Structure 1
Amino acid sequence: MRVPPFKRFRPFSQLASIFVLGMIVGSVMYNGIFHASYNNLWLKYQESRIQIEQYAEDIKTLKKYNKQQTVIKEIRVRAEQQDPPLDSITVKEVLLKLSNDLDVLRGRSVFEIDTDNKITRSLLNGKIYTVRDKEYEVQIKTMLILEGVLQVWVEITVSVRS
């Protein structure tokens, strides 16, 4: 029995290999685009979730203290810009944890904030929060009360433990 020469099948095998290579490259590109869009959607979801939790807490406290004018009704925590910028989701998670720690100040009189301010600074200044298996240190820079809103500016840095 004779075996046919391979020269006949060479153009077909070249076309088939180019077609298979195109399928592989196309699937890699599609997978990359899919994961990039999914990551973007996940980041937006995390930001929205954190924002909704903060709004729900604010609504609850505003309903509770709506008749009193001289108490802390709302707490806003803001992060200052860092030189190597951190991930926005990480910053929001740290700010949410810090806001939960500052919840004890809700409902307190604004005239007694001086003693609370000293206690808060001593307890929370340099506190380390763990987010996504990394540790971040918080330094309180400024605390300001205006119309029942306590605004806190913090600096968040990656913790380096010795």
Structure 2
Amino acid sequence: METGNPRNRVRIFAQFTGIFILGMVIGAVIYNGIFHLSYNQLWIENKDLQIELNQALDEMKTMKKFSKRQTIIKSIKIRVEESEHTLDAVASKEIVQKLQEELQVLRGRSMFEIDTDAKMARTFLNRKIYIVREKEFSVQIKTMLVSEGVLQIWIEVKPYVRS
């Protein structure tokens, strides 16, 4: 076969063009994957900062409102316990944010009367179902601790399985 034949030139040109286009497609797929990973990380970090900002604003309002009283709950910190069910960071952050909003009623309450409020919160929120990103999660309060005006709550989050 000689390379001067027009059919051979067209075939070689088509092969190089196909390889070039395949390289472009593979490059676009790799770029898209990297872009989505970095965007997801940025979105998670943004969610963290939004939660921190909302919490700081709420604490500031509480501090202004109850600056004279030392024995009240000024801040609420929620911690998600590690369990055998791995939970993605975004779902965890959204559940914590929803729980923070529901527990705002405890802010400004006396630390010495927290037992009645904690019982109410525990029964109200025990096994509560949250829908995050089209998935259902069950939240259970494990521990509540009040120290120096900070109510710390440890929760366990599991995927909800309908029985």
TM-score (norm 2): 0.87
> 1:8-53: per-residue Cα shift (whole Å, max 9, x none)?
4333333333222222222222222222222222222222222222
What is residue 143 of structure 1 aligned with on the other side? 144
| Residues in 2 aligned to 1:44 and 1:30: alpha-carbon distance in whole angstroms | 21
Give, in angstroms, the shift of residue 132 of structure 1. Answer: 1.4
What is residue 158 of structure 1 aligned with on the other side? 159
> RMSD over aligned Cα, in angstroms?
1.8
The percent of aligned pairs where both chains have the same amino acid is: 53
Give structure 1 stretches of 5+ with no counterpart: none
What is residue 127 of structure 1 aligned with on the other side? 128
| Residues in 2 aligned to 1:158 and 1:73: alpha-carbon distance in whole angstroms | 31
> 1:125-160: per-residue Cα shift (whole Å, max 9, x none)?
111111112111111111111111111111111111
How many residues align? The count is 159
Q: Secondary structure at the match of 2:14?
A: helix
| Residues in 1 aligned to 2:63 and 2:148: alpha-carbon distance in whole angstroms | 13
Q: Secondary structure at the match of 2:157?
A: strand
Q: Which segment drifts farther, 143-152 or 57-66?
A: 57-66
Preserved contact between residue 73 and residue 149 of structure 2 (Cα < 8 Å):
yes
| Residues in 2 aligned to 1:122 and 1:14: alpha-carbon distance in whole angstroms | 69
| Residues in 1 aligned to 2:6 and 2:116: alpha-carbon distance in whole angstroms | 95
What is residue 101 of structure 1 aligned with on the other side? 102
| 1:63–1:42 distance in 2 versus 1, CA, 3 Å | same
TM-score (norm 1): 0.88
What is residue 83 of structure 1 aligned with on the other side? 84
Preserved contact between residue 62 and residue 74 of structure 1 (Cα < 8 Å):
no
2:69 equivalent to 1:68: yes
**Matched ranges for 1:40-59 at <5 A:** 40-59=41-60
| Residues in 2 aligned to 1:74 and 1:155: alpha-carbon distance in whole angstroms | 20
Preserved contact between residue 71 and residue 110 of structure 2 (Cα < 8 Å):
yes
What is residue 111 of structure 2 aligned with on the other side? 110
Q: Secondary structure at the match of 1:154?
A: strand
Give structure 2 stretches of 5+ with no counterpart: none
Preserved contact between residue 71 and residue 107 of structure 1 (Cα < 8 Å):
yes
